[in-house]
């Protein structure tokens, strides 16, 4: 289809009753426990770099070759078991798609697979996973989906591929992507967001200690001393161990903002104006708006990767819920799958 067209089927987002506001939405999506009807996956380890493997959970349609295959990438300290990953999987499977739930390096219980850390610039890992499924499984159509940090990764890869993407690549969708890393990291350190930052730092601190135990001599846990912000962690740990000269170099080179204007496939970006800590700069917004391949949808409410609306019954055959007759209220997951139906 013509990539200059916009995705016109997006429905307005209406928050669930009593769940208004960025913080309320964000916390609700984390605290509300959901049930999913997702079949047992095929587990596959894929080497994305010499000696570095990632774990993918694969769900196949009967005819995997001809169904659209979507690779879903989670956010910081998430995994293939994150609720939004399972929510998209349930909806996409019902829509006839293959689904690959991709764990970034170390995530999903894979710390022991390699003496390396993961970071926001590893779009090459996603590319390696995509190439594996194209070559090994003969998939004919591929789409990328990412949330938060994962949204940055899939947009970065789409921009790096540009017009030279594999012929199987059809589309990319990102929910609340962290495409301006420096700005979002600084916003995360604001007083109103300290709860989120403390959670991320706790999780990253725990992972660093685990990596040091698994690979003695590779990591110095003393570097964790005195860290009080994500920016400090990324400076003293992420940048140091991942080949960057410092946090400024890391945020600059890893941000998809630099290549979003080069995306040459249909792209959907969902963002909430009241996302507590993800910010998209004016310059990046200009790049997005000037790229005819991108549909950018910004809602007033929705928080960070939340968009918790009210469940509703749908007319038979509407196809937006997991069984085609029920909408569970998770707006972003539904809109992403509806967008991908075109391809």
pTM here? 0.94
Domain that holds residue 234: 181-254
Q: Is residue 9 part of a domain?
A: no
pLDDT at 314: 65
Are 125 and 37 found together in one domain? yes
Is 16 inside any structural domain?
Answer: no
Cα distance between residue 6 and residue 208, in whole Å: 43
Q: What is the DSSP letter of 56?
A: E
108 and 210 share one domain: no
Taking residue 246's Cβ as centre, other Cβ atoms within 10 Å add up to: 13
Residue 65 lies in a domain: yes
Last residue of one domain, picked from the residues 192, 227, 254: 254
**Same domain assignment for residues 146 and 43:** yes
Last residue of a domain, one of 254, 273, 301: 254
Do both 157 and 66 map to the same domain? Answer: yes
The domain boundary residue, chosen from 207, 235, 254: 254
Same domain, yes or no: 212 and 301? no
Alpha-carbon distance 67 to 44, whole Å?
Answer: 19
Count how many domains the chain has: 2
* Radius of gyration from C-alpha coordinates of the chain: 19
Residues 64 and 211 placed together within one structural domain of the fold: no
pLDDT given for residue 3 in this prediction = 35
Q: Which pLDDT score is estimated for 2?
A: 32
Report yes or no on 124 lying in a domain.
yes
Do residues 148 and 40 share a domain?
Answer: yes
262 shares a domain with 139: yes
Same domain, 45 and 148: yes
User: pLDDT under 50 in the chain at which residues?
Assistant: 1-6, 319-323
Does some domain include residue 7?
no
Cβ pair 255, 185 in contact under 8 A:
no
Residues 309 and 248 in one domain: no
Instruction: Please check whether residue 33 is in contact with residue 328, taking contact to mean a CB–CB distance below 8 angstroms.
Output: no
Instruction: Mark whether 160 and 200 lie in a shared domain.
Output: no
Instruction: Provide the CATH number for the domain around residue 264.
Output: 3.40.50.1820
Residue 249: inside a domain, yes or no?
A: yes
The reported pLDDT for the residue numbered 1 is 31
Q: Which two structure tokens, joined as six digits, stand for 300?
A: 């007033």
């Amino acid at each position: 289809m013509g990539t200059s067209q916009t995705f016109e089927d997006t429905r307005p987002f209406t928050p669930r009753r009593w769940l208004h506001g960025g913080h309320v939405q964000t916390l609700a999506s984390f605290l509300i426990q959901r049930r999913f009807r997702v079949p047992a996956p095929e587990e596959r380890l894929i080497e994305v770099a010499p000696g570095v493997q990632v774990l993918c959970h694969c769900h196949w349609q009967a005819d995997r070759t001809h169904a659209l295959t979507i690779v879903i990438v989670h956010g910081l300290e998430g995994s293939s078991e994150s609720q939004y990953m399972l929510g998209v999987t349930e909806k996409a499977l019902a829509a006839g798609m293959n689904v690959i739930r991709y764990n970034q390096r170390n995530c999903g219980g894979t710390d022991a697979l390699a003496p390396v850390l993961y970071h926001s610039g590893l779009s090459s890992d996603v590319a390696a996973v995509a190439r594996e499924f194209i070559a090994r499984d003969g998939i004919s159509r591929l789409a990328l989906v990412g949330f938060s940090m994962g949204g940055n990764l899939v947009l970065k890869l789409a921009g790096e591929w540009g017009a030279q993407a594999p012929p199987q690549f059809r589309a990319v969708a990102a929910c609340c992507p962290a495409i301006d890393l420096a700005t979002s990291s600084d916003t995360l350190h604001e007083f109103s967001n300290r709860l989120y930052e403390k959670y991320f730092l706790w999780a990253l601190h725990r992972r660093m200690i685990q990596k040091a135990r698994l690979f003695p001599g590779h990591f110095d846990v003393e570097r964790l001393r005195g860290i009080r912000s994500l920016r400090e962690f990324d400076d003293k740990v992420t940048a140091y161990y991942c080949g960057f000269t410092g946090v400024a170099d890391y945020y600059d080179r890893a941000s998809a903002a630099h290549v979003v204007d080069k995306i040459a496939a249909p792209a959907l970006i969902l963002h909430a104006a009241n996302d507590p800590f993800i910010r998209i700069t004016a310059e990046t917004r200009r790049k997005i708006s000037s790229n005819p391949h991108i549909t950018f949808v910004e809602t007033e409410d929705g928080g960070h990767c939340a968009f918790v609306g009210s469940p509703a019954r749908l007319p038979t055959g509407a196809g937006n819920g997991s069984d085609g007759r029920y909408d569970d209220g998770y707006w972003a997951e539904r809109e992403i799958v509806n967008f991908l139906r075109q391809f």
